[in-house]
Amino acid sequence: MRRNGPDPLAAEHLRLFRNYEAMDLGWFWATDAEGRIAYISEGAARSLGVTGDALIGRDLISLFKNANEEADVERRRTMPFQMARQARFDAIPLLVDIVGEERWWALSGQPTRDSRGSFGGYLGHSVDVTREQRAAHESNRLAMYDPLTGLPNRRRMSTLLDSTIAAFRNQQRPCALMLIDLDRFKAINDSLGHPVGDALLKQVAERLSTIVGNSEQIARMGGDEFQVILPDAHNRVGIFDLANRIIESLSHPYMINGSRCLIGASIGIAVSPFDASTSDELVRNADLALYAAKGAGRGRARFFSADLLQAAEDRRLLEHDLIDALSKGELAVHYQPIVGARSEEVTGFEALLRWNHPKRGRISPAIFIPIAEDANLIPQLGEWTLRQACIDAAKWPGELRVAVNVSPIQFASEALPAIVMSALANSGLAPERLELEITESVFLEDGSETDARFAALKRLGVRLALDDFGTGYSSLGYLKTAPFDKIKIDQSFVRGTTEEGARNQAIIAAIVALANALGMETTAEGIESFDQLETMRKLNVSHIQGFLYSRAVASEELATHFKDGKWVIQPQGPARQRHIRHTTFRKVGVIHDNHYYPAVLKNVSASGALIDGIVDVPEGTQFVVDLGEGQMAVATVRRSMNQQQGIEFEQPLVEDANGVLTTRHRVSPKLITEAGLQHQGHNLVAKTGEGGLSMPAFHTVTEWNGIEV
């Protein structure tokens, strides 16, 4: 039997309820059957900047903000759904704006029903879960974003690419993918340190975001590789233009902690659904395009094409064949002579690996060496070459030396001194007749280990040569401590020594003086002409290596060249250095005496070209070559062979930022028109009834009014 009067238990419940609200541990709410607020704790109302009475009658969901992220949007959709179901829900986090600060409240609700079972609304409770939500957001950000650059990472980009391609598939909407690889980044990271490398990557990310416009479309995939997704990219010209703008921007100098850093970028592009139907295929094909762009000289963009798949398959097959090439006896060592610069007597040979494929014939080292690097075959091939070279050299007369290249991978191995000692012992070759050629990149490894490796090799009595000096991470510091016997001057320095105004001679003279002061010999590589040879002699280089004397010779042929144990070679080759010629096949125009002749450019170098299409032009004839897009060059015919002419440019071509040969100036359309020519496509033709373009007039146009590139 219950007594009349207030229920002491209900009063206690109310007191606990009020105390809970006062301590801001949470707040309570209630709605009617339509979801309108019937009660809300006064503390919650105050945090929203109003009173509790002001919120009575408002829709509960209206208190919460629209969210941006997909998961948050989904949570906001869940609340009305749960309330419409008239079912219980627990701890649904929702975003609320409290006096300008975003906070998270987790709502729980229990439906109420009257005695007849009719739904009467919700009784609910909420707590502040901002700290937990921010921690979850940060964890999600770390899982989906690169902590260094703030860009999406590989995981997020993969999810975005999958969802984009799936959404676009039925409508056949295109989605382009760019893979961006930074050129020369590793050199900066290794030489200046990881802090500089990290700062450089941040600036790269900022430049990419500026050009692309939406950083959510850009991802750092790790290392120095980035991805860009371009949804609805219909215009390939526009995609290519964007890629070139990215390359140009990323190639501008960076200033980091007082250091001026220069890098470049190569880009591979693939577009779905034309190049691939799945995200995995799209990434693979963009990667193949990137590989092709880097193989074409870096600093350029390349679209995927079906032939790249075939090239990749060929490369895969070659890799399999290369693995078995040693056991099948397909590899051989050839030897290129190294001669005394004054005596022209052979003092030794450089050992060069050659591969004679049973079906494809001779495979260029430029093809199979990168394959060997990717397949981790360099240590195996390097050791075999070393052992074979020692065996062959032991049969040579006199004190002829053999030089063997040692890759950075081989040099880093603790087993290298033992391998060298074994090769010497098994062949019987005197240690001083073996010369190991080592590139500067070995100095990027741990200094103490590098010094220990040098010391171990010198204890064996072998000679050490610094290969490709000046092309890597050149430092006078390691020349002071590393026990080198020779410096090899890279052919990139040799190639420019005979050009007017080139600084290469001064650089080589300094290298020779440094080597002499340290008691070292010097070898100039890549000598192909007599003017290069005379320049090297004038600069006191001690040894010469190059096609002017001999190409690499098979081991079995060497014996035929020795006379009385010696081989003196008479140089044979062109009198003057020729620029590297690039094979091409494109239409150009030739302008002469008010006539425009169509022709085909067969090959081109900085100094000249071979053109096809004009019959029996006398040697000495001078004309203007229209290379297209305002590029016009005066040229003189030096060799005439029926319908082909070898021409020499009056002003050498130069390389642009992408390594493409171009004229130094470009002629504007206005000046071309004033000179009596008009455009036809990308080329020029003489206007009907008007005078031709005289050479003096052309010189005036190009030299004083052109646009320098």
**DSSP 3-state assignment of 309?**
helix
**DSSP 3-state assignment of 306?**
helix
In this prediction, residue 69 carries a pLDDT of 53
- pLDDT class for 689, splitting at 50, 70, 90? very low
Residue 611, amino acid = I
62-76, 192-206, 298-312, 463-477: which is most confident: 192-206
- pLDDT class for 121, splitting at 50, 70, 90? very high
pLDDT digits 0-9 by tens, 21-77: 777 778 898 999 898 999 988 888 887 878 878 889 988 888 887 655 554 545 555
pLDDT digits 0-9 by tens, 135-166: 777 777 777 889 899 999 998 999 999 999 99
Give residue for tokens 């005439």: 640
Higher pLDDT, 87 or 385: 385
* % of the chain residues with pLDDT over 90: 38
Which H/E stretch holds residue 53? helix 52-55
Average pLDDT over every residue of 184-204: 87
Q: Using the predicted structure, report yes or no on whether residue 352 has a pLDDT greater than 90.
A: yes
- Token output for 166: 């799936």
Average of per-residue pLDDT values in the chain: 83
Average pLDDT over every residue of 199-216: 93
In this prediction, residue 52 carries a pLDDT of 78
- pLDDT class for 404, splitting at 50, 70, 90? very high
Residue 97 is given by DSSP the state E
Higher pLDDT, 352 or 648: 352
Which H/E stretch holds residue 532? helix 530-538
Instruction: State how far the Cα of 694 lies from the Cα of 60, in Å rounded to an integer.
Output: 85
Q: Using the predicted structure, report yes or no on whether residue 472 has a pLDDT greater than 60.
A: no
Ordered domains of the chain (ranges, CATH): 13-136 (3.30.450.20), 145-304 (3.30.70.270), 333-353+372-560 (3.20.20.450), 582-708 (2.40.10.220)
In this prediction, residue 54 carries a pLDDT of 85
Q: Using the predicted structure, report yes or no on whether residue 437 has a pLDDT greater than 90.
A: yes
In this prediction, residue 655 carries a pLDDT of 67
Do 183 and 265 form a contact (C-beta atoms < 8 A)? Answer: yes
Residue 704 is given by DSSP the state H
In this prediction, residue 380 carries a pLDDT of 94
Instruction: State how far the Cα of 368 lies from the Cα of 177, in Å rounded to an integer.
Output: 29
pLDDT digits 0-9 by tens, 581-630: 777 777 888 888 777 888 888 888 888 889 988 887 888 899 899 887 67
Higher pLDDT, 133 or 566: 566
Q: What are phi and psi of 341, to 5 degrees?
A: -60, -30
In this prediction, residue 426 carries a pLDDT of 96
- pLDDT class for 696, splitting at 50, 70, 90? very low
- Token output for 397: 């007369």
In this prediction, residue 258 carries a pLDDT of 82
In this prediction, residue 697 carries a pLDDT of 42
Q: Using the predicted structure, report yes or no on whether residue 381 has a pLDDT greater than 80.
A: yes
Average pLDDT over every residue of 301-307: 89
* % of the chain residues with pLDDT over 70: 86
Taking Cα atoms as reference points, which of 289, 295, 471, 439 lies closest to residue 367? 295
Higher pLDDT, 443 or 175: 175
Q: Using the predicted structure, report yes or no on whether residue 94 has a pLDDT greater than 70.
A: yes
Q: Using the predicted structure, report yes or no on whether residue 475 has a pLDDT greater than 90.
A: no
In this prediction, residue 602 carries a pLDDT of 84
**What is the residue-wise DSSP string for 550-575?**
---EEHHHHGGG-BTTB-B----S-S
pLDDT digits 0-9 by tens, 483-501: 899 999 888 788 777 776 6
Q: Tell me the β-bridge partners of 37.
A: 31
Instruction: State how far the Cα of 670 lies from the Cα of 677, in Å rounded to an integer.
Output: 10
Q: Using the predicted structure, report yes or no on whether residue 531 has a pLDDT greater than 50.
A: yes
Give residue for tokens 């103490």: 448
